Structure 1
Amino acid sequence: MTGILQAKIMEDKNTTSVAEFILLSFENIHQFKMLLFIACLIIYITCIIGNLVIFLLIHFDSSLHALMYFFISRFAILEIVFVSVIVPKLLDILIAGKNRIGFVACFLQLYCADTTGIVESYFLTVMVFDRHFAITNPLQYVSIMTPWCIRLAVFPWIVGSVAAFLPTIFTATLKFCGPNLIEYFFCDLTPLQNLACSDPYVSILVTNIVAMFVVLPSFMTIIGFYIHIILTILKIKSTDGKQKAFSTCSSHLIVSSLYFCTGIAVYIKPSGKQHDIFLGFIYRIVTPLLNPFIYTFRNREVKCAFYKVFKNLWIKNNVQIGLKSQDTGES
């Protein structure tokens, strides 16, 4: 895609004066930039560590090698990628004031942001499909789902990378002759389409088509699966059975609700105002931070595995300290 964008720049160099864009989202709160930088840095580091801990915990603890945790571990890696597309450049803007981004770099960021956004929506769909199958067909669940788990984990990335390509290219082929000021904290479709000197009708149309036929179906599928899951759980006679069934999908329900509610609030009627920037910040940066804590604190098996690892490390550390003390005493 970089080659296409570079060719586009060369082709339109006589009519396009914009070679870079300037991200202005936090210019009006200059006095709070350092505080915002510290907050973003803490959020980013916590998000990376939290999701990485979940991935490693699931990977190395044999008690968490069920299919549900296979998808959770891959989702944790996706969250790291999701937040890393935006935050490093944002941190650079806040600490060093480097709010300029090249034309090609801007559209690469746009493509990666759209790709990870679509991937996340489809990965949440795959995860609810997994929970739906486990609850409605528990006897056949393992035998049918095991051969498909890797393909189901790869499928969202294929959909996301293909679907995000079209609106990115159609937006990149617009004429940008100035101004080049983006009132947002990263290169997103709507702010870029609003800057175009040429008519963005086709670009907006393609964007809406992708949203309608790619993103919306995943959202509606999740709603449909959860309605059927709830109806199935209500038919379970024992209270313990109902609680156990619901506990296996409650974390995913909270994560899905956070993701789609903030996403809808950001993109259903974007205007580039400060409240949209705030909602976009929640959607792109804060939500990935919350997800590992939701999966940790609302899942008994993950908590038990975490406590077991922590206990083993604590015992091992105390044993090593005791051995060192004995060696010192003997010497």
Structure 2
Amino acid sequence: MLLDFLDFAHEIGDDTKGKNITRINEFVLVGLSNVSEIQYLLFVLFLCIYLTTVLANLSIIFVVRFSPSLQTPMYFFLANFSFLEICYVTATVPKMLSNFLTTHKTITFYGCVMQMYWFLLFGGTECYMLAAMAYDRYNAICKPLQYGIILSKKVCIQLVSGSYLIAAVNALIHTVLTFTLPFCVNIIDHFFCDIPPLLKLSCSDTWFNELVIFLISGSVIVGSFILTMISYAKIISTIVNMKSNTSRQKAFSTCVSHFTVVIIFFGSGIFMYFRPKSSYSMDEDRLIAVMYTIIAPMLNPFIYTFRNGNVKVAVKRLMHQMAITQKF
């Protein structure tokens, strides 16, 4: 239905304000660099990062799935977050990698539509997933006796499902509004189809799109960020009032890891989507986009999980069980 509607809008957008609009069947992605000599080097670098991200997150899913000691709400969210990160990087990185190896760096019109939709879907879901994970830590630290009751399995599933639903609506709105604009040129000064670089290609006034970004994305990004900050504010207040130094240090260590991910993701997202079109700088934006679309998903498993003592113990137990199984 989405593609049919966009196809209709694409057909009728032949003239805007007296300008002849050429029907665009494909876009050219400029990528990270125009220097051909470093294309293979960038391919190897980002392929390693992509594989590390996918394998690290798959490892987390595997460990949580087969470790009885990790069947708690915290690790339920972490496993879902890991799955989300795999989808998030896969929405953009494979196409970028293929473009490193070819001189014809293009993506079809509808390929661009779907790439933007999936990227916004998974990115928006991550916003509310981070808020849900902060809420989980708030209940674990501030209401430990009620933790299992408040975050039942049903509630956890509802929080994850709600995150996807909100993000799906947000992604649909922005994708439709962006691709019903008339485009005068087809060269995207970026390495994937994102809203800011596509708005720069439009021949028409994009004030309405920018307003919708501010209002709706504000509800998604800023709204989830505020919810996350409320949880952390209450967590910090509880930690400060703890009498045991050991409990205080353990809780603080957990929160610092989570807070690092929150700042990286929300900080770069707010910078990217809450500026007027006139202030877009594609060279600067590409570097920031690399941070929140590629680097952050690679770091998240190490920040969130591999420093976690319970996960280390669970990994050792699984390895021990696998070694015993192989003997027999």
Fold equivalence (TM over 0.5): yes
1:175 aligns with 2:176: no
Structure 1 gaps of 5+ residues are: 321-331
- Whether 1:278 and 2:279 are equivalent positions in the alignment is no
Distance in 2, matches of 1:305 and 1:154, equals 27
Q: Displacement, 1:27? A: 4.3
SS at match of 1:195: coil
Contact 2:31/2:96, CA 8 A, preserved across alignment: no
Query: Which residue matches 1:327?
Result: none
Distance in 2 (CA, whole Å) between partners of 1:282 and 1:116 is 16
Amino acid at match of 1:186: F
Shift of 1:265: 4.0
Normalised to the residue count of structure 1, the TM-score between the two structures is 0.90
Structure 2 counterpart of 1:148, one-letter code: V
Amino acid at match of 2:84: L
4+ residue segments displaced more than 6 Å: none
- For 1:54 and 1:46, the matched residues in 2 are separated by 12
Q: Partner residue of 1:74?
A: 80
Letter in 1 for 2:188: I
CA deviation after TM superposition for structure 1 residue 249, in Å: 3.2
Q: Which residue of 1 aligns with 2:119?
A: 113
Moved more, 198-207 or 123-132: 198-207
Matched, 1:306 2:315: yes
2:48 to 42, 48, 64: 42
Residues 254-281 of structure 1: per-residue CA shift (max 9 Å, x gap): 2212212332344444623323211211
Q: C-alpha distance in 1, partners of 2:165/2:86? A: 18
Q: 1:201 to 1:57 in 2, by over 3 A?
A: same
Q: CA deviation at 1:22?
A: 0.5
**Contact 2:32 2:191 (C-alpha < 8 Å) held by counterparts:** yes
Q: Deviations over 1:117-176 (max 9, x none)?
A: 111011000110111112111111101211311111111100000012112211111111
Displacement of 1:316 in angstroms is 4.8
Q: What is the CA deviation profile of residues 23-47 of structure 1, one whole-angstrom value per residue up to 9, with x for unaligned ones?
A: 1133422211000001111111111
The Cα of 1:297 is off from its aligned counterpart by: 3.0
- Specify whether residues 27 and 256 from structure 1 end up closer, same or farther in structure 2 by C-alpha distance, changes over 3 A only: closer
| Structure 2 match to 1:329 | none
**Greater share of helix:** 1
How far has the Cα of 1:12 moved from its partner? 3.0
| Structure 1 segment 124-273 matched on structure 2, within 5 A | 124-146=130-152, 147-176=154-183, 178-269=184-275, 271-273=280-282
SS at match of 1:21: strand
Summarize deviations over 1:15-72 as a string: whole Å, max 9, x none.
4432211111334222110000011111111111100110010011101001110000
Paired residues, what number?
A: 318
Cα shift at 1:299: 0.8
Unaligned 5+ runs, structure 2: 16-20
Decide which structure has the larger Cα Rg and report it: 1
Which AA in structure 1 matches 2:60? Answer: I
Residue 18 (structure 2) aligns with? none
Q: For 1:288-307, what aligned pairs fall within 5 Å after superposition?
A: 288-307=297-316
Amino acid at match of 2:182: K
Deviation of the 1:13 alpha carbon:
5.2
* 1:54 corresponding residue in structure 2: 60
**Distance (whole Å) between structure 2 residues aligned to residue 296 and residue 145 of structure 1:** 20
Aligned residue in 1 for 2:99: 93
Aligned mates of 2:39, 2:254 — CA distance in 1: 41
Q: Let me know the Cα RMSD of the aligned residues.
A: 1.8
- Bigger mean CA deviation after superposition, 252-261 or 161-170: 252-261
CA contact (8 A) 1:183 1:272 kept: no
What amino acid does structure 2 have at the position aligned with 1:291?
Answer: N
